Amino acid sequence: MGVGSQTLYHTGSESGSNACRENSQQCLIAAHATDFAAATQYTNREYNPRQPEWIPGVKEWLVTTCISILVMMDAFNTTVVIPLIPGLSSVFQQPLENALWINTSYLIGNASGQGLFAMLAEVLGHGPILLSSSVLATAGTGICGGSLGLSVLVTGRFIQGIGGGGVVGVSLLIIADLIPKSHQVQFSTYIFRAQMIGMVIGSVAGGVYHDYTSYIWAFYSSFVFCAMGLLVIPFALDLRGHGQGNKPSATSKFRTMDWIGVMLTLLGMGTLLTGVGWGGTQYDWGNWHTLLPLCAGGIFFIVLILYETMWAMQPMFSSRVFQDLPSTMLQTGGFLHGFVLSSHLHCLPLYLLFVKSLDTTFIGLSLVALTGLAVPALMISGTTQFYRRPHISAWVTRVGWLLTITATGCSLLLNASIPTPGWVIILLVAGLGSALLMTGYNLCIHVNTLRFYTGQGTRESAQVSATSILIYSILRTWGMCIAIPISGTVIFNYLSSQGLPDMSIGHTGRHSGTYATQENKDAFADALLVLWKGYTGIAALGGISSLFIWSAR
Three-state DSSP string of 266-330 = HHHHHHHHHHHHHECCCECCCCHHHHHHHHHHHHHHHHHHHHHHHCCCCCCCCCCCCCCHHHHHH
Q: Are residues 526 and 465 in the same domain?
A: yes
pLDDT of residue 316: 77
pTM summary value? 0.85
The confidence band for 78, taking pLDDT boundaries of 50, 70 and 90, is very high
Give me the sign of the Cα torsion angle 454, 456, 457, 460. Answer: negative
- The per-residue pLDDT for 122 is 84
Among 270, 285, 313, identify where a domain stops: 313
Q: Do the domain assignments include residue 508?
A: no
Please tell me whether residues 387 and 301 are part of one structural domain: no
Q: Give residue 311's pLDDT.
A: 84
pLDDT at position 107 over 80: yes
Q: Is the dihedral of CA 532, 277, 481, 333 positive or negative?
A: positive
Q: What is the mean pLDDT of the chain?
A: 81
Looking at residue 468, its pLDDT comes to: 83
180-189, 193-202, 256-265, 530-539, range with the lowest pLDDT: 180-189
348 has a pLDDT exceeding 80: yes
Q: Determine how many CB atoms are found less than 10 A away from the CB of residue 302.
A: 12
Q: Cα dihedral sign for 528, 531, 533, 539? A: negative
pLDDT of amino acid 279: 86
User: Which range among 73-82, 436-445, 498-507 has the greatest average pLDDT?
Assistant: 73-82
Q: Is the pLDDT of residue 130 over 90?
A: yes
Question: Which of 8-12, 287-291, 296-300, 394-398 has the lowest average pLDDT?
Answer: 8-12
How deeply is 135 buried, as exposed, middle or buried, from its count of CB atoms within 10 A (0-12, 13-18, 19+)? middle
Assign residue 317 a region (left: φ > 0; alpha: ψ between -120 and 50; beta: otherwise).
beta
User: Is 496 part of any domain?
Assistant: yes
Question: Mean pLDDT, to the nearest integer, of 338-351?
Answer: 93
Over residues 65-71, mean pLDDT? 92
Residue 91: predicted pLDDT: 87
Query: 324 with 464, same domain?
Result: yes
Is 253 in the same domain as 264? no
At a CB cut-off of 8 Å and minimum separation 6, what does 498 contact? 523
If asked whether residues 285 and 234 sit together in one domain, one would say no
Task: State mean pLDDT over 493-500.
Answer: 81
- In tens, the pLDDT along 312-330 reads 887 877 777 888 888 889 9
CATH of the domain at 403: 1.20.1250.20
The H or E element that residue 205 is part of is helix 184-212
The confidence band for 459, taking pLDDT boundaries of 50, 70 and 90, is: low
Torsion of CA 370, 371, 373, 375, to 10 degrees: 180
Residue 74 — φ and ψ, nearest 5°? -65, -45
Q: Supply the pLDDT for residue 34.
A: 38
What are the φ/ψ torsions at residue 9 (nearest 5 degrees)? -120, 145
pLDDT (mean) for 120-146: 91
Residue 121 has pLDDT above 60, yes or no: yes
Residues 201, 89 share a domain = yes
Residues 6+ apart with CB under 8 A from 504: 86, 89, 90, 95, 96, 99
SS (H, E, C) 355-409: CCCCCHHHHHHHCHHHHCCHHHHHHHHCCHHHHCCHHHHHHHHHHHHHHHHHHHH
> What's the confidence (pLDDT) of residue 13?
41
Return the pLDDT at 462.
59
**Phi and psi (nearest 5°) for 257?**
-70, 155
At 7-66, the pLDDT tens digits run 333 334 444 444 444 444 333 333 333 343 343 343 333 344 455 677 878 888 999 999
Pairwise CA distance, residues 358 & 164, whole Å: 31
Asked whether residue 181 carries a pLDDT value surpassing 50, the answer given is: yes
Confidence class of residue 553 from pLDDT cuts 50, 70 and 90? low
pLDDT at residue number 303: 93
Domain closes at, from 276, 294, 313: 313
Asked if 163 and 134 count as a contact pair (C-beta separation under 8 A), the reply is: yes
Q: What is the pLDDT of residues 253-287, one digit of tens each?
A: 777 788 888 899 999 999 999 999 888 888 888 88
Helix (H, G, I), strand (E, B) or coil at 410: helix
Contacts of 395 (CB under 8 A, 6+ apart): 440, 551
421 backbone dihedrals φ, ψ, rounded to 5°: -60, -30
Residue 31 lies in a domain: no
For 340, the enclosing helix (H) or strand (E) is: helix 325-354
Contact 184, 465 (CB under 8 A): yes
Q: Which residue has the higher pLDDT, 467 or 226?
A: 226
With respect to residue 361, please indicate whether it lies within any of the assigned structural domains: yes
**Cα 403 to Cα 436: distance, rounded to the nearest angstrom:** 9
pLDDT in tens, 516-540: 678 888 888 899 999 999 999 999 9
Name the domain boundary from 273, 293, 313: 313
Q: Say which DSSP state 149 is in.
A: S
- Please list, residue by residue across 504-520, b when 16 or more beta carbons sit within 10 angstroms of its beta carbon and e when fewer do: beebeeeebbeebeeeb
How many Å is the maximal CA-CA distance in the chain?
Answer: 86
Q: Is the pLDDT of residue 436 over 60?
A: yes
Residue 14 in any domain: the answer is no
Q: Is residue 150 part of a domain?
A: yes
Based on the domain organization, do 90 and 201 belong to the same domain?
yes
- C-alpha 17/C-alpha 24 separation (Å) is 9
- pLDDT value at 222 more than 50: yes
Looking at per-residue pLDDT, the higher value among 422 and 2 belongs to 422
* For residue 75, pLDDT beyond 80: yes
Do 414 and 548 lie in one domain? The reply is: yes
Residue 352's pLDDT is 92
Tell me the residue range of the domain where 106 lies.
56-242+249-257
Give the pLDDT confidence score for residue 31 in this predicted structure: 38
Give the model confidence (pLDDT) of 372-381 as tens digits: 888 887 777 6
Q: Are residues 274 and 393 in the same domain?
A: no
> Is residue 139 located within the same domain as residue 215?
yes
Kindly state the helix (H) or strand (E) to which residue 519 belongs, with its residue range.
Answer: helix 518-546
Q: Name the residue with higher pLDDT: 117 or 442.
A: 117
Same domain (yes/no): 375, 234: no
What confidence tens digit (pLDDT) does each residue in 470-487 have? 899 999 999 999 999 999
**Sign of torsion over alpha carbons 412, 197, 337, 354:** positive
> Within this chain, do residues 83 and 232 fall inside the same structural domain, yes or no?
yes
Q: How many domains does the chain have?
A: 3
Lowest model confidence (mean pLDDT) among 226-240, 249-263, 354-368: 249-263
Is residue 15 in some structural domain?
no
Q: What is the pLDDT of residue 349?
A: 92
Look at residue 8 and tell me if it is in a domain.
Answer: no
Dihedrals phi, psi of 279, to nearest 5 degrees = -65, 120
Q: DSSP class of residue 415?
A: S
In this prediction, residue 281 carries a pLDDT of 81
